[in-house]
Structure 1
Amino acid sequence: MANSALDRTDRLRRPAGIRSLQLGDTKVSYVPDGDVRLRPRALFPDTTDEVWAAHPELLDVSGHLVASIGALLVEHGDRALLIDAGFGPQRLPAAPDGPRGVIHGGALLESLAQLGRGSETVEAIAFTHLHPDHLGWAWHPAPGGDRPAFAHADYLVSAPEWAQRDLLKEQGMTAEVTALAPLVRPVVDGQEIFPGVHVRISAGHTAGHAEYVITSGGQRLIAFGDSLHSPIQVDHPEWSSAFDHDPVGAADHRRRLVVELKEPDTIGFGGHFADAVFGQVRQNDSGPAWRPLDARPTGDDQ
């Protein structure tokens, strides 16, 4: 049943559990923290009701897109890097308008423990960008303490993203910026930040959005952050999300990214892609499409 079309459809309607892939000497694992429900027409303003009527497999019973929230754990030997930091131990009700429905986090530290990792074993967090659903555990105090669980680690942020941090303060994120500042180490395009992991600046979603390219064992994984929010954008890269800072620039980058994801031995990681976070782009009769990989599930996630 795990490989059936029905199971693949169900995976697009539920948040991801822990899933792992082995790339040569490097292991990558999705680390769940929570999820957010998104209003599809508000998220993708260029779509229509007809579009979503034709894609019921992407919507839950309430008509929302299900977007996972979590992090990517990269392990090489006894070393560990985390890409993004979830939403943190909080829950918000649905916004009265706009794309966002109910959003919650809180599971990341427990998920790490299931993977055999304590937060103290993570040497750095590499952020794709500084939106709240990607930096939660980097600034929220850990349960029972007054410091974040990763306060010992380096916080790697693309130099252009960090240079425009005043924009975050204007958006009401002064507390987050203040908490991050002592730990931030800016990184630049092409920099190797961990064995086989390189930074790639891909502005569009935010002014300094970063992707991370992980190469090992003759394979390449592109952790593309919020360059894409949903598998539907693989076939329609022209559809920018309401959260994109530069919709035109984001669409231009997505077109190039989709072409790149079609290349041999290339895997994509879409952290918001419901329970299909690892996948490849393959051509079908209607165009390129996201094909989830059967990454090894852990625990009860079958």
Structure 2
Amino acid sequence: MVTTTAFDRARLSRAPRVRSLDLGGLTVTYVPDGLVRLKPGGWLPAATDADWARHRDHLDGDGLLVAGIGALLVERGDRAMLVDAGFGPESRPDDPDNPLLGKLYGGGLLDSLRGLGRDPERIEAVAITHLHSDHLGWAWSNAPGRDAPPFAHAAHLVAAPEWARRDLAGDPRLAVLEPRVRPVEDGEEIFPGVRASFAPGHTVGHTAYTITGSDRRLIAFGDALHAPVQVTHPEWSCGIDHDPVESARHRRRLVEELSRPGTIGYGGHFADVVFGRAEPGPGGRFGWVPVA
């Protein structure tokens, strides 16, 4: 282990729950939608059996990585936006022939939002990190009992290079989004205190969002990292990364950034440790330490 700060390490393999942080003038909240269990051999193919033996606490009882699926609610006073939109009201069973994914399901996001006192109609924008279905579900799925998605009234913000190459996603449902998409540029402020930052690698236009309050900043890094163990091993690229070399290069820079004072990370797939920081440890490696 490289982390020196104690926490309940059972959280590394536990389904995430609602968690919030006050950044000073801004509140950020993880809003659950569903869950997927990732098969480590296919998802992080550079990791060996010996590696997983050393990091066994990152795996559940079936030897899988637990990855939450949800959205980040960003609130400033009465105003609110989301980063990503969950998987939506779908589920897929485990396919033994699929080397990447186990059981996958969503559908809880709208109820989670209402439980926080935030109706979907009061979301003014949805910022998308990248065009994969587990980040877009409620952007194209109709709300229950209605003939439109719950955020159809809101701008959907997508990095210009990601939207320009949306053909790479290969999903015809993206046509539903097109009337609502507003392409954004690198460094653009999309909401008070929230800026887009292009971070290609996982996809061609993958985007992080830096959220700055009066005393801290949070980097919502999307799928630049899928699991806390990659903070320790940023060289482990995901099996579906568009450019594994570029994604590893970006992860190394990101981990260094997440170790700086006043900087917090948000990993939407990070089991029950979605908010945290990178803490230096032995051998020049880092470990993920939750802060909420």
TM-score (norm 2): 0.96
Give the distance between the partners of 1:209 and 1:277, measured in 2 at CA. Answer: 19
- Paired with 1:282 and 1:54, the residues of 2 have a C-alpha distance of 18
Q: Which residue of 2 aligns with 1:132?
A: 133
In structure 2, distance between residues paired with 1:32 and 1:102 = 16
- C-alpha offsets along residues 54-110 of structure 1, whole Å, 9 cap, x if unaligned? 111111111110000000000001000100000001100123222111000010001
> Match for 2:211: what amino acid?
I
How many residues end up aligned between the 2 structures?
A: 286
The match for 1:299 is none
Distance 1:61 1:237 in 2: 24
Alignment equivalent of 2:287, drawn from 286, 289, 293: 289
Tell me the distance in 2 between the aligned counterparts of 1:227 and 1:47.
17
Q: 1:177 aligns with which of 174, 178, 186?
A: 174
- Structure 2 gap segments, 5+ residues each: none
The sequence identity of aligned pairs, in percent, is 57
Cα distance in 2 for partners of 1:131, 1:8 equals 31
TM-score by structure 1 length?
Answer: 0.93
Could you say which residue in structure 2 is the equivalent of 1:266?
263
Q: Runs of at least 4 residues of structure 1 off by over 4 A?
A: none
Matched AA of 1:288: F
Q: CA RMSD in A?
A: 1.1
Q: Which runs of 5+ in 1 are unaligned?
A: 296-302
Shift of 1:46: 0.7
C-alpha separation between the residues in 2 aligned to 1:152 and 1:117? 15
Paired residue secondary structure (2:60): coil
Q: Give the secondary-structure state (helix, strand or coil) at the position aligned to 1:289.
A: strand
Q: For 1:198-277, list aligned pairs within 5 A.
A: 198-277=195-274
CA shift at 1:218, angstroms? 2.2
| Residue matched to 1:80 | 80
Deviations 1:119-143 (A, max 9, x none): 0000000000010000000001111
Match of 2:98 in 1: 97
C-alpha distance in 2, partners of 1:156/1:55? 36
Alignment partner, residue 71 of structure 2: 71
Task: Provide Cα deviations, 1:3-36, integer angstroms capped at 9, x if missing partner.
Answer: x95x621111111110000011000000000010
- Cα distance, 1:177 vs structure 2: 1.1
Tell me if the contact between 2:41 and 2:99 (Cα under 8 Å) persists in the aligned partners. no
Please say which of residues 139-148 and 269-278 is displaced more in the overlay. Answer: 139-148
Helix, strand or coil: the match of 1:73?
strand
Counterpart of 1:252, as a letter, is R
Supply the distance in 2 between the matched residues of 1:281 and 1:152 (Cα, whole angstroms). 37
- Tell me whether 1:193 sits opposite 2:190 in the alignment: yes
Residue 31 of structure 2: aligned partner: 31
**Correspondence for 1:107:** 108
